[in-house]
Homo-oligomer: A and B are copies of this chain.
Amino acid sequence: MVKIVGIGGSLRSNSSTYRALELAAQRVEAMGASVELLDLRTLKLPFCDGGDDYPGYPDVERLQETVKQADGLILATPEYHGGVSGVLKNALDLMSFEHLSDKVTGLISVLGGQSNSNALNDLRLIMRWVHAWVIPEQIAIGQVWKAFGPDGKLLDEKLSERFDGFAESLVVNTRKLRGSS
């Protein structure tokens, strides 16, 4: 069974990034894949110092091993200053080729203002650099403060369908590229 790991790049307690990540996760599970979400708010990670050893931070290895065992990834980030959050980039910096290469990755960004694809572009080039695959389907949620209803569902039907297509592409193509079922 295809295993997808999701990572959210926000530390906000009531985070729209996580809400978007969870919506994607539900749809991915509905497609028959297993999903595990890594919550950077509960993982205790250090800043990356370019080295390999982080004594006192067992969550570094937990992050690395969980990602290593995945077939695919969902990376969701708030767009901060027109780029990926430092929090998420730092989590990626703590991993290396052996953890990230060949993963099939779907990207989501969440913005307070108008939709944009800067953070998505960033992540696409970063994940390429570590020899991961990034699916063509991607999601940027602009003006996220009005995107969700009180029930946590997306108010915009088109955006909701975009999540469907995103999840389908991620699962179907991870199966194809990884040879898993």
Contact = CB atoms under 8 A, between A and B. Distances in A.
A87 interface: yes
A132 interface: yes
Interface in A143-175: 173
Contacts of A137: 131
B82 A92 contact: no
A67 to B, nearest CB: 13
Contact of A93 (B50, B80, B176, B177): B80
A129 interface: yes
Contacts of A89: 80, 83-86, 89-90
Nearest to A85: B93
B125 A136 contact: no
Contact of A136 (B81, B121, B128): B128
Number of copies: 4
Nearest to A41: B49
A72 to B, nearest CB: 14
B124 A128 contact: yes
Given A90-B90, A121-B118, A128 B82 contact: yes
A4 to B, nearest CB: 18
B177 A130 contact: no
A91 interface: yes
Interface of A: 10-13, 47-51, 78, 80-93, 101, 114-118, 121-122, 124-126, 128-138, 142, 173, 176-177, 179
19 contacts: A12-B51, A13-B49, A47-B86, A48-B87, A80-B93, A82-B128, A82-B129, A82-B130, A83-B84, A87-B90, A90-B90, A101-B136, A114-B115, A116-B116, A116-B117, A122-B122, A124-B125, A128-B136, A132-B136
